[in-house]
């Protein structure tokens, strides 16, 4: 059997596994390899290889390899729980971003004391370095095997699998679990782990099913990486947008409206800044704005398919004895705005943008601050164009999104998602659409990864994954090519040949959701926004009442230059005033005493504690105006 490894073709016996090949090749690589890729497919190191092909090895730096290690860690967790709490019933335990979890059915919730015992038991199991052994059973035997072990959730999972599905199990020591894999060769490759939290989780995510206990954890190949991750988690807790939203008086979610955020005056300042910036850049990019109704008739949602396929997530009502729905998305309204008149090919592209408020009925257990809400504003745009215009329009959208993310200081990665199994449209149109997106990215020289089969059912898409200051990834922007909606709504334009043609529809967002983007910004900056985003950019505070008149005059001058300034004339010590302003993360504290009032100067302190005395008020105003206009994420003048 011929296998290409490290650029060389070598002959091996049929059925050899990657681990044995690795042992023959490089003992150092054997220490870091977690999984392999054979002919482009992810395989575990123990999987027998039975065809010619190309083999490469994956270390923990590879995302797929991370999932293999963390999925194995979830099985170690299940084994430890069964040792500590033998009556626990096993549900599921996948790897997730940054870690893993496992769901258990137990009589009593896991306490911190029990969690500590489970983590200790996990470390004991890992130290044993048991081999991970895969085996399969026929369907009936697999069910009987799980019946013998009294694992009802596993039996249900087996019964839900297709009749021809291979039923596989993994064994580590005395512990056996239903699993498709892949796994590590042995548990000892998990060098560092931590159980992080416990939460309730419904079986199958269904509120009508039993509430299970979900244990979250994470695992690494290096203790230093684990410590760095735990430090990041602690920092993330400090930056939690829900906590900072209340402390900085930006927004809150009240019991009277679960999932429906209240924005307070300072939060509205931030929101309006983002919206004004959005209006400005879209006007420059040749978009026209529309506003479509929040409530539209059932017939519209039937045409779009939402009534049949998205009904459970929609809020509905009756008007004049007819069914209506609050829109869960803006697309159908944007289509009606396009359909209002006849178009020529000379009129295209038509770029219709909308900051549209949508409502979706999310389950209460999934709500999370501004990140998952029931009403939110999407910064939608729908572009109607010809096939020949697709590439240029995609390039324009990309350039717009790129400029926005650079303005806020977000690095990002691009993912191109291709045709899923449940797609609509012809092979020819899918091929054309996917090639158009790919050609646009290639023409710009943009690096991207292919996400096979994860496109929308109506077309391929490009997703922007932003990286925040803590290294976390957020999917915000997207470009989706739609071949379905123009057909459903019978959209057309008159071509150069005088005949009707079907336009191509591009859906796109940049912020994604205004609410969620604000939540991301709060956590990215830790509430310490750059000057142009800060609801209060400076606070003027006096040392004595004799300086009050000078402070009021300075505030007026700054407001006239477009700066957002508050006064603190309270009869309090200046140190107290400064600390309070720093707690509110105000960029600049401007202090005026008797001398400053007389000289027309000001002492400046930043929220980081930097200070400069006797600064000219006029010069300070010019510097702040320039910094504000620059939309920089960093101060561009020294103190």
Kindly report, residue by residue over 187-213, the tens digit of the pLDDT.
Answer: 999 999 999 999 999 998 888 899 999
- One domain for residues 400 and 497: yes
pTM, two decimals, is 0.84
Kindly report the backbone phi and psi dihedral angles of residue 188, in degrees, each rounded to the nearest multiple of 5, phi listed first. -65, -15
Options 359, 507, 508, 516, the catalytic residue: 507
Options 378, 480, 555, 617, the catalytic residue: 378
Q: Which residue in 560, 624, 561 sits closest to 590, CA to CA?
A: 624
pLDDT digits (tens, 9 = 90+) for 302-350: 999 899 888 999 999 999 999 999 999 999 999 999 999 999 999 999 9
Last residue of a domain, one of 43, 59, 75: 59
How much is the pLDDT for 27? 67
Options 71, 241, 360, 585, the catalytic residue: 360
**Residue 639: pLDDT over 90:** no
SS (HEC) of 263-281: ECHHHHHHHHHHHHHHHHH
- Please name every residue paired with 48 in a beta bridge, in sequence order, or none if there are none: 17
Options 379, 380, 463, 468, the catalytic residue: 380
CATH number for the domain spanning 585: value is 3.40.50.800
* Residue 380 a catalytic site member: yes
Our count of domains for the chain comes to 5
Q: What is the DSSP string of 88-150?
A: PEE----EETTEEEEEEE-SSPPPHHHHHHHHHHHHHHHHHT-B-EEEEE-HHHHHHHHHHTT
pLDDT digits (tens, 9 = 90+) for 168-193: 999 999 999 999 999 999 999 999 99
Domain of 89? 64-236
| Contacts within 8 Å (CB) and 24+ apart, 225-232 | 225/192, 226/192, 226/193, 226/194, 229/98, 230/194, 232/470, 232/471
* Residue 239 a catalytic site member: no
- One domain for residues 103 and 200: yes
Is residue 544 a contact partner of residue 594, using CB atoms and an 8 Å limit?
yes
Residue with tokens 């998602």: 417
* Residue 382 a catalytic site member: yes
Q: Which helix (H) or strand (E) holds 176?
A: strand 175-178
- One domain for residues 348 and 415: yes
Estimate the share of the chain in helix, then strand, then coil, as percent rounded to the nearest 5.
40, 30, 30
Is residue 255 a part of any domain in this protein?
no
- One domain for residues 577 and 597: yes
* Residue 360 a catalytic site member: yes
- One domain for residues 175 and 318: no
- Residue 151 DSSP symbol: -
Is residue 258 a part of any domain in this protein?
no
Residue with tokens 């029990």: 114
* Residue 385 a catalytic site member: no
**Residue 425: pLDDT over 80:** no
**Residue 125: pLDDT over 80:** yes
- One domain for residues 489 and 424: yes
* Residue 500 a catalytic site member: no
d(CA 192, CA 185): 17
Q: Which residue in 233, 89, 91 sits closest to 157, CA to CA?
A: 91
- One domain for residues 216 and 119: yes
Options 179, 331, 385, 476, the catalytic residue: 331
- Please name every residue paired with 542 in a beta bridge, in sequence order, or none if there are none: 592
Q: Which residue in 184, 215, 180 sits closest to 201, CA to CA?
A: 215
The pair of three-digit structure tokens given for residue 1, joined into one six-digit string: 């059997």
Is residue 380 a contact partner of residue 264, using CB atoms and an 8 Å limit?
no
Last residue of a domain, one of 465, 494, 523: 523
pLDDT band at 25; cut points 50, 70, 90: confident
- One domain for residues 114 and 152: yes
**Residue 424: pLDDT over 80:** no
* Residue 476 a catalytic site member: no
d(CA 617, CA 611): 15
The mean of the pLDDT values for the chain is 94
């Amino acid at each position: 059997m011929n296998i290409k490894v490290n650029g060389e073709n070598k002959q091996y016996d049929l059925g050899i596994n990657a681990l044995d090949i690795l042992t023959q090749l490089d003992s150092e690589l054997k220490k870091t390899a977690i999984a392999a890729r054979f002919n482009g497919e992810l395989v575990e190191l123990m999987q027998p290889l039975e065809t010619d092909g190309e083999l490469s090895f994956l270390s923990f730096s590879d995302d797929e390899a991370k999932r293999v290690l963390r999925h194995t860690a979830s099985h170690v967790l299940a084994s430890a729980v069964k040792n500590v709490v033998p009556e626990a019933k096993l549900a599921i335990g996948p790897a997730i971003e940054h870690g893993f979890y496992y769901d258990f059915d137990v009589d009593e919730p896991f306490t911190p004391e029990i969690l500590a015992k489970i983590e200790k038991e996990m470390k004991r199991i890992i130290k044993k370095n048991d081999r991970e052994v895969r085996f399969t059973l026929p369907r009936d035997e697999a069910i009987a095997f799980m019946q013998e072990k009294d694992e009802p959730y596993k039996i249900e999972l087996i019964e839900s699998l297709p009749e021809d599905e291979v039923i596989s199990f993994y064994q580590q020591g005395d512990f056996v679990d239903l699993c498709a894999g892949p796994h590590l060769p042995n548990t000892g490759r998990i060098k560092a782990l931590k159980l992080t939290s416990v939460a309730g989780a419904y079986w199958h995510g269904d509120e009508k099913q039993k509430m299970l206990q979900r244990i979250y954890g994470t695992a690494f190949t290096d203790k230093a990486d684990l410590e760095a991750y735990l430090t990041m988690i602690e920092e993330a807790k400090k930056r939690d947008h829900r906590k900072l939203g209340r402390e900085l008086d930006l927004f809150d979610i009240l019991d009277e409206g679960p999932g429906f955020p209240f924005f307070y005056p300072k939060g509205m300042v931030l929101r309006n800044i983002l919206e004004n910036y959005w209006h400005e850049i879209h006007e420059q990019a040749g978009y026209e704005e529309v506003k479509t109704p929040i409530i539209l008739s059932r017939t519209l949602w039937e045409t779009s398919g939402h009534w049949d396929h998205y009904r459970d997530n929609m809020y509905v009502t009756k008007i004049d004895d007819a069914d209506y729905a609050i829109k869960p998305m803006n697309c159908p309204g944007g289509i009606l705005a396009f359909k209002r008149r006849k178009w020529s090919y000379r009129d295209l592209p038509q770029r219709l943008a909308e900051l549209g408020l949508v409502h979706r009925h999310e389950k209460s257990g999934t709500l999370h601050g501004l990140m998952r809400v029931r009403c939110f504003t999407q910064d939608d745009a729908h572009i109607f164009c010809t096939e020949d215009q697709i590439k240029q329009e995609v390039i324009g959208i990309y350039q717009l999104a790129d400029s926005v993310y650079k303005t806020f200081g977000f690095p990002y990665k691009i993912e191109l998602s291709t045709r899923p199994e449940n797609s609509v449209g012809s092979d020819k149109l899918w091929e054309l659409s996917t090639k158009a997106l790919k050609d646009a990215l290639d023409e710009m020289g943009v690096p991207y990864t292919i996400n096979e089969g994860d496109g929308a059912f109506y077309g391929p898409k490009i997703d922007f994954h932003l990286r925040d200051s803590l290294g976390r990834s957020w999917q915000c922007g997207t470009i989706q090519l739609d071949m379905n909606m123009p057909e459903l709504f019978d959209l057309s334009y008159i071509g150069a040949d005088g005949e009707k043609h079907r336009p191509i529809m591009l859906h796109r967002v940049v912020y994604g959701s205004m609410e969620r983007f604000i939540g991301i910004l709060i956590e990215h900056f830790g509430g310490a926004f750059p000057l142009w985003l800060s609801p209060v950019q400076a606070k003027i505070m006096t040392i004595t009442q004799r300086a009050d008149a000078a402070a009021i005059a300075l505030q007026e001058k700054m407001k006239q230059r477009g700066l957002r300034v508050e006064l603190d004339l309270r009869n309090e010590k200046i140190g107290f005033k400064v600390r309070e302003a720093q707690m509110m993360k105000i960029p600049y504290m401007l202090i005026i005493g008797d001398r400053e009032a007389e000289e027309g100067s000001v002492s400046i302190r930043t929220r980081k504690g930097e200070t400069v005395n006797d600064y000219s008020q006029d010069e300070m105003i010019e510097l702040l105006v320039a910094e504000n206009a620059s939309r920089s994420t960093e101060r561009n003048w020294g103190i």
